[in-house]
Every structure is written in C-alpha cells, then in structure tokens.
C-alpha cells in the first residue's frame, strides 16, 4: 500500500504542528486508511492488531472536528465518548488525546473504577469534549444522574473483542441505547467473530471497513517458540530464560503471563527471591498499585512484570523485548493479544510459551487460530521429549503437515529466533 505523508492529510494545523514535534512523518496503515474516511464523517468498522497506531487513527480526526467546531459543553454531557474495556486502556487513550491535542482547546476527563468517583463527578459538572470511560463506572455515574449522553457526536467502541470477553456486552448495549441517533460511530476490534460483527451491525450506519491484518494473525516480527516442560519445571526454566536476557545485556523489558491472580503474585515473589526485580499486576490490585507497577516497569526499575490477561490490552510499553506465557491461555485469541505486547511500532520481539501436559489442547487451539505451528525450543535442560512428540502426533492426526509446517517443527534452540 502506498502511504500518504501526514502532511497530505487534511488535518488542522494545530494537529500537524504536534505531529511534526513528535517526528511523525508517515502514518501507519490503519491511520492512512481510517483518517481520510473519518474526516468525511463515515462510520468505521476497523480490524487491526494491537500496536498498529489505532488510537491516533480515531483521536486525530476527532480532535480535528473539535478544533473546527468548538462549542459550549452542557452540564454533565460530552461531545465524544470513547468506551474502553480496562482502566489501563482508558488511561492510555486519554494520554493520547492529551498528546495529540496539545494545541487544541478541549476538555477531557476519564471515568473508570478502582478509584473514588467524586473527582470524576466534579469533572463532569461543566461538561467535557472528550470522555474516555470503562462501561461499569460509566453506568454507575449515569444511574446517579452525573453523566448525560444525549449530546454525544462521536462514539468510539475500542477493543470490542476484549470488551465482549470480559462480559460487557449487556452494558455496551445499554450505553448505546442512550446515545443520540445522529452521531459518528467508530468500532475497533482485533478480531471479527460473528458476535462482534452482529454487534457492529447494530451500532454502525453504512460503515466503511478497514482491515489491516488477517484476523487473529500474529505480528511477523515476533520470534515465537514453545517449550514442552513439566509444570514443576516451569519456574527454573523461566529463571534460566531471564538470566539469558541479563547475560546478553539486552536491557529489554519482559512480561510474564500467568493464568490466575494468585499465580501471578506467587511467581513475582519467587522471582524476587531468585534475584530478579519483578512485580505483579492483575485485577485485584488497586488502581494506584497498578499505575505504580506500570510506571516502574516502563522506567526499567522493575524490568519483569508478571501479569494476568488484564494487562494483555491497553498496556503500550516500549522496549518489551520478551513475552513469556508461563501459563498458556485457555482462550486462543488471548495468545495473540499477549504476544502483541512485544514488537511494538515496528520493533522486533520474542515470545516464549511454556506448555505442560495439561495445556496441550490449548496449544493446538492456538496454532489453529494463528494458522501455523509454533517452532519448538527443545535444547533447554527441562525439555520433555515425550510431550513434544504427543503434540506432534496430535497435529499430524488433524492434518498432514505442509512443507511450511515441517520446517516449523524442526528442533533446536534456533527456531525462528532472530539474531
């Protein structure tokens, strides 16, 4: 696809000014396709992987519209509503609006749970131009009479697949029913399962469709590997992997995914005992604890972050060089979102997954959805050859391997690891 420079896009000069300061010259594919359509006032159904610059693709056109038609905000109302599934994503989106809107006069606030609601109520009293919110807290404040959605001009539903995974479908439908009919609606998802398409059709009007990558495919610049290992051997294998990073002096951040909150806490503590600077982040942590952990992680003060899937979306941290699936996710789509924490903004990254006997079926489902076998790393000292062969036989029984699959099943530490 031929990329149009940012300067050629019909955005307000105040936005071009900040883009020049940020040294943003060429838009990403999702930005190049979406921004012109949104400037025309079209509804949009966007399918794109995480880390593709999706937030700027809707923030810039919305800020352009706000700069061209400044208006007085009615009490408790908002002109723009962005719904996000998690606090972390809401905060990230809010920061993006602040960054890109540096030279635009607009009012913004965030509404999410885990913190006191009084500051959020006070911020909404005079009305705002941009409201970024999670569904649960937003409905709480609507029910209390502190938020009015009757003036929404721009509605963004972000990370829809994650929203549905977290059980927000009913909340989303209830919020949509409160919006004015005349509005511009934007709908973004990394996957387009039938239930997601059905929801999109109920919200959007004659939308333009933008799809950047095949549904649920993984980023090309992520070197993926799988280790077949006993459950009790996962911890020493992880420590070996992290020490290898230290020895290589890569100075890269690492995210380790655990399936449970208790497991994340336990693993983080054991890594600290082993001499690593590690912290855990999950849904039971307070908002202040989560923000502090993320801040230390971004600064490299705690270079290992152990997380549940609450951190698989909306945590856009540069320099994550390694993602480890200590536990394989039981939902294969989550694998794509997890490893998408590395190889951000064109960088390269590595994703290593540990597979024990009870996770073989999870691995098969993941390889099915990403349409490729994950190369094996067999040379570590805890490799369970019988388990690897069981997986290989199971894959062969499902379908005869093609030449590409046979190459993917070659053994050795190399896999498709990039040097």
Which domains are seen in the chain, by residue range? 6-211 (3.40.50.300), 222-408 (3.40.50.300)
Number of H helices, E strands in the chain: 16, 13
pLDDT digits (tens, 9 = 90+) for 335-393: 888 888 887 766 788 999 999 999 999 999 999 888 889 999 999 999 999 999 999 88
SS3 per residue for 93-129: HHHHHHHHCCCCCCCEEEECCCCCCHHHHHHHCCCEE
The residue written with tokens 């006191």 in the block is: 116
**For position 213, what pLDDT does the model report?**
57
- How many Å apart are CA 71 and CA 79, to the nearest integer? 9
Supply φ then ψ for residue 322, to 5 degrees. -140, 130
* Buried-exposed string 78-114: b where 16+ CB fall within 10 A, e elsewhere: bbbbbbbbbbbbbbbbbebbeebbeebebebbbbbbe
* pLDDT value, residue 246: 56
**Contact between residue 391 and residue 360 where contact means Cβ atoms under 8 Å apart:** yes
- The torsion of the CA quartet 146, 149, 154, 155, rounded to 10 degrees, works out to 90
Whole-number pLDDT of residue 417: 32
**∠ CA 101-104-110, rounded to 5°:** 50
- What's the pLDDT at 49? 66
- From CA 343, how far away is CA 203, in angstroms rounded? 32
How many residues can be counted in the chain? 419
pLDDT tens-digit readout, 406-416: 333 333 333 33
**Measured between alpha carbons, how far apart are the two ends of the chain, in Å?**
28
Q: Which residue in 167, 163, 164, 207 sits closest to 185, CA to CA?
A: 207
Give the span between the Cα atoms of 291 and 312, in whole angstroms: 15
Q: List b or e across 283-320, with b for residues whose CB sees 16 or more CB atoms inside 10 angstroms.
A: eebeeeebbebbeebbeeebbbbbbbbbbbbbbbbeeb
> What is the spatial distance between Cα 265 and Cα 37, in angstroms, rounded to a whole number?
45
Q: Which two tokens stand for residue 371?
A: 């349409």
- The token pair at 30 is 């999702």
What is the predicted pLDDT for the residue at 312?
55
Instruction: State how far the Cα of 343 lies from the Cα of 350, in Å rounded to an integer.
Output: 8
In angstroms, what CA-CA distances link 193 with 89, 135, 190? 21, 21, 10
Distances 23 to 16, 19, 30, 112, 287 between C-alpha atoms, Å: 10, 6, 18, 32, 32
Which residue ranges in the chain fall short of pLDDT 50?
Answer: 1-2, 214-217, 400-419
Beta carbons within 8 Å of 15's beta carbon, 6+ residues apart: 60, 63, 64, 67, 100, 103, 104
Closest listed residue to residue 110, CA positions, set 126, 87, 77, 132: 132
Given this model, what pLDDT does residue 37 score? 96
């Amino acid at each position: 696809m031929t990329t149009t420079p940012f300067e050629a896009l019909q955005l307000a000069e105040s936005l071009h000014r900040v883009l020049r300061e940020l040294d943003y010259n060429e838009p990403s594919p999702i930005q190049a396709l979406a921004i012109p359509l949104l400037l025309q006032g079209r509804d949009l159904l966007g399918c794109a992987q995480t880390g593709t610059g999706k937030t700027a693709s809707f923030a810039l056109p919305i800020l352009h519209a706000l700069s061209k038609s400044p208006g007085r905000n009615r009490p408790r109302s908002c002109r723009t509503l962005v719904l996000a599934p998690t606090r972390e994503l809401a905060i990230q989106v809010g920061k993006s609006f602040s960054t890109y809107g540096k030279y635009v006069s607009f009012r913004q606030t965030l509404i999410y749970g885990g913190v006191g609601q009084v500051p959020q109520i006070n911020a909404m009293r005079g009305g705002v131009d941009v409201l970024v919110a999670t569904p649960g807290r937003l409905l709480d404040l609507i029910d209390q009479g502190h938020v009015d959605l009757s003036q929404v001009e721009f509605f963004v539903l972000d990370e829809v697949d994650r929203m549905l995974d977290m059980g927000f479908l009913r909340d989303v439908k209830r919020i949509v029913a409160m919006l004015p009919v005349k509005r511009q609606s934007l709908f973004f998802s990394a996957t387009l399962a039938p239930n997601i398409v059905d929801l999109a059709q109920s919200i959007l009007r004659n939308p333009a469709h933008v799809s950047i990558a095949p549904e649920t495919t993984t980023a090309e610049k992520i070197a993926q590997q799988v280790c077949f290992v006993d459950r009790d051997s996962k911890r020493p294998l992880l420590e070996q992997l992290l020490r290898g990073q230290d020895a290589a002096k890569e100075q890269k951040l690492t995210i380790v995914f655990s399936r449970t909150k208790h497991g994340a806490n336990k693993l983080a503590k054991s890594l600290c005992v082993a001499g690593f600077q590690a912290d855990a982040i999950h849904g039971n942590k307070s908002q202040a604890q989560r923000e502090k952990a993320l801040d230390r992680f971004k600064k490299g003060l705690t270079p290992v972050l152990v997380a549940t899937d609450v951190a698989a979306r909306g945590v856009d941290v540069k320099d994550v060089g390694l993602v480890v699936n200590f536990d394989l996710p039981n939902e294969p789509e989550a694998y794509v979102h997890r490893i998408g924490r590395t190889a951000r903004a064109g960088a390269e990254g590595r994703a290593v997954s540990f597979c024990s006997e009870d996770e073989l079926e999870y691995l098969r489902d993941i390889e099915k959805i990403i349409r490729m076998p994950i190369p094996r790393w067999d040379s570590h000292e805890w490799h369970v050859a019988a388990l690897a062969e069981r997986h290989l036989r199971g894959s062969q029984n499902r379908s005869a391997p093609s030449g590409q699959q046979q190459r993917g099943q070659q053994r050795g530490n190399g896999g498709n690891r990039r040097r």
